[in-house]
A and B are shown apart, each in its own frame.
Chain A
C-alpha cells in the first residue's frame, strides 16, 4: 500500500542515548516533515525538507538532526536523548492531489512513533 512508513512504532531510551527514527514514502513527494505531538500542544514542526538534499528548521529543532537521504527517505536523529523529548513523533510527506475539480496540497502522515526517554 502506498503511503508513509515510519519505524519504530515504540521506543524507550535512557537519557543520553541516541537513536534514529526512520521514515520513507513511496508517493514520489518532494516535501517531507517531522512533527512531534505533546498533550495540549498539538503537532509542532521539528524539521522539514522541501526537496532531496535540502533541510530546514521548523518550530522546535533543538536536540534533533535530520537527513534527507534520497527522495524517499527522511530520518530524524536524537544524538543525546533527554526526558523533554518524550513525545509522539510523526513523519509526513506532501504532494498534490485532485479533489473534484481542483488541485491542492495534501499531507500524508505515518502512523507515529511513541518515544519515551527515562
Chain B
C-alpha cells in the first residue's frame, strides 16, 4: 500500500522569504502523480502543483516549485517570496496511475504553514 509522510506538522516563515515543505512517499508502482494541495482557513482544497513521475524535470507554478527525487521517493515544495496569503495547511498527496478509473488520492497528514509579517 502507498503511504505519504509529512514530517513537519508546523512551520513558520517571514514574509518575502523562502520556505521548503518536506514530503516522502512509499510505493512500488512506477506510474504515478504527486500533488501539493493548499487548504486555507476557508477549508477549500486548492491544487498548488502536480508532478508526473515519468518526468525528470521539476514542476513549477509561479512562486511554487518542487524538488522531485524519484529514487529517494521525496517530493518537497518550495515557496519563494512567501506572502501572507500563503498561510494555510499544505497536504502532499500521491495518486497511482494505472490508466483506469480507480485513481485514489492518498494524502499525508499535512504541514501548517504560518507566514509572519
Please encode chain B, from 24 to 51, with 1 for each CB lying within 8 Å of some chain A CB and 0 for all others: 0000000001000000000111010010
Nearest-Cβ distance from residue A106 to partner chain B, whole angstroms: 7
Please encode chain A, from 93 to 106, with 1 for each CB lying within 8 Å of some chain B CB and 0 for all others: 01000010010111
Interface residues of A in 13-37 (CB under 8 A from B): 30-31, 33, 35
> How many residue pairs, one in A and one in B, have C-beta atoms under 8 Å apart?
61
Q: Is the interface of A mostly helix, strand, loop or mixed?
A: strand
Q: A56 at interface (Cβ–Cβ under 8 A)?
A: yes
Q: B62 at interface (Cβ–Cβ under 8 A)?
A: no
A56 touches B102 (CB 8 A): yes
A35 CB contacts on chain B under 8 angstroms: 107
Q: Is the interface of B mostly helix, strand, loop or mixed?
A: loop
Q: How many residues of B contact A (CB 8 A)?
A: 24
CA distance A41 to B109 in the complex (A): 5
B43 touches A105 (CB 8 A): no
Extra inter-chain contacts (16) besides given A33-B104, A106-B47, CB under 8 Å: A33-B105, A41-B109, A42-B4, A42-B91, A45-B104, A45-B105, A45-B106, A48-B102, A48-B104, A50-B101, A88-B43, A94-B105, A104-B50, A107-B45, A111-B43, A112-B44
> Which positions in A face B, CB cutoff 8 Å?
30-31, 33, 35, 40-45, 48, 50-51, 56, 58, 88, 90, 92, 94, 99, 102, 104-107, 109, 111-112
